[in-house]
Amino acid sequence: MPESQAVTIVMIEDDEGHARLIQKNLQRAGISNAVRHFTDGTTALAYLFDPADGPTVAGPALLLLDLNLPDMSGIDILAKIKGDERLHRTPVVVLTTTDDQREIDRCYDLGANVYITKPVNYENFADAIRQLGLFLSVIKVPEAGA
């Protein structure tokens, strides 16, 4: 198995439809990594910082993060990850409907690796996810805790 196969994709997305569409398009792009889906920030954070099977212990992860979550802003999660010694190298892809320049700037300031706006046009959306899948298939993710 190549190293990229071991990367767990952690998707924090409160909209079930969006999550389903993302998953489908990732599969179509040939991405077969394990996907952990969370619909709220609290349980996602619990998983991320849980030493038993979370990325802090069990291996590298890649985060797909929506900013509009019911219990907190995705920006808080981003700040927590980038501020954590064990997780700050984890690639974070912000995938959200918000296209406000200030939000985008803030995410990059906090250390987001990629910021993608969800296009309403489905073809564009599917394209974006597939390209993300291609991207995911080639990037190297640092080892957890390294």
Partner 1 sequence: MSERAAPAEGAVSAPVAESSGAGVRRIGGIITALIAVGLLALLAGGALAITALRAGEAQAELVRHTRDVEALIASIGIQVERSEGARRGYLIQRDPRFRDSWDLAVRRLADELPRLEALVGDNERQAERARALGAMVSDLQQIDRQSMAAIDMGLVQQALSAFASDRSADLLRSIRALRLEMADVEARLLELRDRERIETLNSSYAILAFCALLVLAIIAATILVIRRYTAELARSRDSLHRLNTDLEGVVGERTNELQRANDEIQRFAYIVSHDLRSPLVNVMGFTAELESARQPLENLVAAVEVRAPDLITPEVRLAVAEDLPEAVRFIRASTEKMDRLINAILKLSRDGRRALAIEKLAMSAVVEAAADALRHPIDDAGGELVVDKLPDIISDRVSIEQIFSNLIENAVKYRKPERPLRIQVSGRVAGQRAIFEIADNGRGIDPKDHERVFDLFRRSGTQDQPGEGIGLAHVRTVVWRLGGSIELDSALDDGATFRLSLPLRLDVE
Q: How far is the CB of 115 from partner 1 (least distance, A)?
A: 15
Q: Is 118 in the site for partner 1 (CB under 8 A)?
A: yes
Of residues 47 and 115, the one with the C-beta less far from partner 1: 115
> Which is nearer to partner 1, 68 or 131 (by Cβ)?
68
Cα 37 → chain centroid = 10
Q: Which of 98, 106, 128, 130 binds partner 1 (CB under 8 A)?
A: 98
Q: Which one among 1, 51, 85, 123 touches partner 1, defined by CB under 8 A? A: 123
Nearer to partner 1, 35 or 144 (CB): 35
Q: Would you give the DSSP letter of residue 113?
A: S
Residue choice 1, 2, 121, 138 for contact with partner 1 (CB under 8 A): 121
Min. distance of Cβ 42 from partner 1 in angstroms?
A: 20
Q: How far is the CB of 114 from partner 1 (least distance, A)?
A: 18
Nearest CA to 22 among 134, 139, 125, 136? 125
Site residues for partner 1, window 3-32 (CB under 8 A)? Answer: 15, 17-18, 21, 24
Characterize 27-59 residue by residue with b for buried, 16 or more Cβ atoms within 10 angstroms of its Cβ, and e for exposed: eebebebebbbbbebeebbebbeeeeebbbeeb
The distance from CA 48 to its chain's CA centroid, rounded to whole angstroms, is 12
Non-local CB neighbours of 9 within 8 Å, separated by 6+ positions? 26, 31, 33, 34, 35, 36, 61, 62, 64, 136
H or E stretch covering 5: none
Which residues of this protein are in contact with partner 1, per CB under 8 A? 15, 17-18, 21, 24, 68, 97-98, 100, 118-123, 125-126
